[in-house]
């Protein structure tokens, strides 16, 4: 005759691991986590990060002098990122990967794609691009107050191409004109410098070509204006 009976045994600890820090990489457009195809290096540490089941980059505790974190997106359409050790949180740091000019947007995303150059030239001359300039959008709310978009991108080094997106929280309400359009400003800074100056308003619908918008922007630059307001059709 057999019967079951309860047995209680003490738990035995196999091993213990201590986490030094972790990184969460997010697509700045969709806010989804990114882990595949990205190279993340901790300068000053010997160990490589482990990507856990939650798609977080985790470093185990070790002796070393962390200097910076470098993030290279490889073939993914994001900008490279460098983060100083002092900018890390003690446990988890979230980094939004900003889209490059070749980012493929899904329907319903509000954004602007363009090129920043030094001056307009006549073909066959090639315009000189403005590399690594900070670019972001500002939007007008229903109270007449301007707000900075939470994402800042940069022009590339070869052609000065850029893309800038507008991402609103559910509680944020933009000002809509009678035709249902929202007003945004494109703000650019080179070498960390931006001037206070008049704002040019450009109204363009979906039929306007990319080149026509760039020509208007270039005319504004020649007139000494770098802050431009666009009125665009809001997504339904």
Q: What is the CATH number of the domain that holds 49?
A: 2.60.40.1120
Give me the domain span that covers residue 42. Answer: 19-97
Residues 124 and 190 in one domain: yes
- Residue 74 pLDDT class (50, 70, 90 cuts): very high
- Domain boundary, last residue among 97, 120, 135: 97
Domain count, the chain: 2
Where a domain ends, among 97, 120, 143? 97
> According to the model, what pLDDT value does residue 203 have?
53
- As a whole number of angstroms, the distance between CA 151 and CA 165 comes to 7
9 inside domain: no
Q: Is 114 found in the same domain as 185?
A: yes
- Percent share of the chain, pLDDT over 70: 78
Confirm whether 131 is domain-assigned: yes
Q: Flag whether pLDDT at 13 surpasses 70.
A: no
Residues 180 and 81 in one domain: no
Percent of the chain scoring above 90 in pLDDT: 32
Please state the rounded mean pLDDT for residues 106-123.
Answer: 83
Report the distance separating Cα 116 and Cα 51, nearest Å: 37
Dihedral angle computed from the Cα positions of residues 174, 200, 164 and 129, in that order, rounded to the nearest 10 degrees: 180
The DSSP bridge pattern shows strands 19-27 and 92-97 to be parallel
Same domain, 160 and 229: yes
| pLDDT for position 223 | 44
0.85 surpassed by pTM: no
Instruction: Clarify whether residues 139 and 178 are in a common domain.
Output: yes
Is residue 11 a part of any domain in this protein?
no
Average pLDDT, the chain: 81
Residues 137 and 225 reside in one and the same domain: yes
3-class secondary-structure state, position 187: strand
Residue finishing a domain among 42, 67, 97: 97
Higher pLDDT, 227 or 40: 40
CA distance 23 to 55: 9
Do 194 and 221 lie in one domain? The reply is yes
Instruction: Please indicate, yes or no, whether residues 224 and 118 belong to a single structural domain of this protein.
Output: yes
Residues 130 and 92 in one domain: no
In a domain, 169, yes or no: yes
What three-state secondary structure class fits 176?
strand
Q: Are residue 84 and residue 136 in the same domain, yes or no? A: no
């Amino acid at each position: 005759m057999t019967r079951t009976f309860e047995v209680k045994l003490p738990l035995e600890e196999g091993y213990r691991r201590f986490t030094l820090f972790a990184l969460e990489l997010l697509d700045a457009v969709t806010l989804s986590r990114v882990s595949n195809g990205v190279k993340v290096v901790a300068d000053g540490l010997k160990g490589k990060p482990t990507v856990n089941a939650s798609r977080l980059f985790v470093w185990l505790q070790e002796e070393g002098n962390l200097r910076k974190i470098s993030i290279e997106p490889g073939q993914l359409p994001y900008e490279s990122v460098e983060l100083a050790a002092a900018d890390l949180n003690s446990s988890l740091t979230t980094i939004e990967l900003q889209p490059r000019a070749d980012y493929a947007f899904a329907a319903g995303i509000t954004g602007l794609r363009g090129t920043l150059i030094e001056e307009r030239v006549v073909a066959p001359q090639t315009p000189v691009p403005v590399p690594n300039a900070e670019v972001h959008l500002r939007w007008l709310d229903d109270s007449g107050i301007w707000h900075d978009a939470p994402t800042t991108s940069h022009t590339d080094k070869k052609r000065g191409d850029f893309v800038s997106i507008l991402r609103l929280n559910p509680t944020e309400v933009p000002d809509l004109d009678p035709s249902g359009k929202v007003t945004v400003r494109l703000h650019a800074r080179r070498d960390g410098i931006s001037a206070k100056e008049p704002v040019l308003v450009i109204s363009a619908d979906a039929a306007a070509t990319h080149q026509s918008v760039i020509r208007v922007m270039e005319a504004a630059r020649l007139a000494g204006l770098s802050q431009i307001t666009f009125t665009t059709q809001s997504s339904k």
